Amino acid sequence: MNSSAIFLAVVKMIETFNLTKNYGKLCAVDSLKLQVDSGEIFGFLGPNGAGKTTTINMLTGLIRPTSGTATLAGYDIQEQSLQAKAIIGLMPDTPQLYEALTGRQFVRMIADLYEVPPLQAENEMGTLLEQLELADAADEQIKGYSYGMQKKILLISVLIHHPQILFLDEPTSGLDPKSARTVREIMQSRCEHGCTVFMTTHILEIAERICDRVGIITKGRLIAEGTLSDLQKQKREMLSQSVDSNEEHVETLEDIFLDLTSDM
């Protein structure tokens, strides 16, 4: 996992306290207790339907929890929603864009909503369009964009106001390998300057490569959390496995994930 992030100040940017969401008899998220520090890339992993997107929707104020609370940089997402939402950026897995607008118009609209100075917004947008190889299509209507192009213009709109916390739901899905690598580099660069990233991904190699810590959720419950070495230890404890200290045994994040979630 990534260990190069520069922690400018250790601040609890995301904290949840018994965060719970029920849909009738279904408990989508069960008593989630979590802390994520400033400058950290935190990977939130789990099978389909585990509760990952529901958690992000609660943390960003899109849905109300059944019980429990969450704070973002100290702001209660329910009681201080305006302050909390002002410092975050959300990239959902499925882009929902104004397709009649051009890519450039859409990003300008989002920049205006966050009161980003026009010159700053234009400079930032120009840099990101070049990085994500979207400059040539910036003045075309979004309705003509491919899925990958839509994801890239959405990411640019999320980054344009330099949020303190980024919530990214499957940020590299639908992207070609080069674009996916660029997105990872952008995330790491932002975190080196104090941004916090909370991301989901089904590509466990990406999580292992760039995340400082990960949490594994299944059936709404957080079953493991920490660095790769932390997870290796937790897996042995949970599954009552003993590894011969004289035997070279290297477990990947994928090994751990599949073992912990296979029977749940």
Q: What is the mean pLDDT of the chain?
A: 90
Distance CA 77, CA 246 (A): 49
pLDDT of res. 95: 87
**Residues 41-90: tens digit of each pLDDT:** 999 999 999 999 999 999 999 999 999 999 999 999 999 999 999 999 99
**Residues 242-253: tens digit of each pLDDT:** 455 444 455 888
Taking the CA atoms of the chain, what radius of gyration do you get in angstroms?
A: 19
Distance CA 123, CA 133 (A): 15
Any alpha helices (H) in the chain, and if so which ranges? 52-59, 81-86, 103-113, 118-131, 147-159, 177-192, 204-210, 228-239, 253-261
Question: Token digits for 60?
Answer: 């960003």
**Residues 178-190: tens digit of each pLDDT:** 999 999 999 999 9
This prediction has a pTM of: 0.88
What mean pLDDT is predicted for residues 132-150?
A: 96
Percentage of residues in the chain having pLDDT higher than 90 = 76
Give whole-number Cα distances, 179 to 26, 52, 147, 159, in Å: 37, 24, 13, 16
pLDDT of res. 247: 45
What mean pLDDT is predicted for residues 191-204?
A: 93
What mean pLDDT is predicted for residues 95-99?
A: 92
DSSP 123-169: HHHHHHHHHTT-GGGTTSBGGG--HHHHHHHHHHHHHTT--SEEEEE
**Residue that wins the pLDDT comparison between 30 and 93:** 30
Is residue 123 predicted with pLDDT exceeding 80?
Answer: yes
Is residue 168 predicted with pLDDT exceeding 50?
Answer: yes
pLDDT of res. 3: 45
**Helix 118-131 crosses helix 103-113 at what angle (to 10 degrees)?**
140
pLDDT of res. 129: 98
Is residue 1 predicted with pLDDT exceeding 50?
Answer: yes
Find out whether 173 and 23 touch, Cβ atoms under 8 Å: no
Is residue 7 predicted with pLDDT exceeding 80?
Answer: no
pLDDT of res. 2: 53
Q: Which domains can be identified in the chain, with CATH numbers?
A: 1-87+163-226 (3.40.50.300), 100-153 (no CATH)
Residue 6 pLDDT level (bands cut at 50, 70, 90): very low
Distance CA 102, CA 224 (A): 43
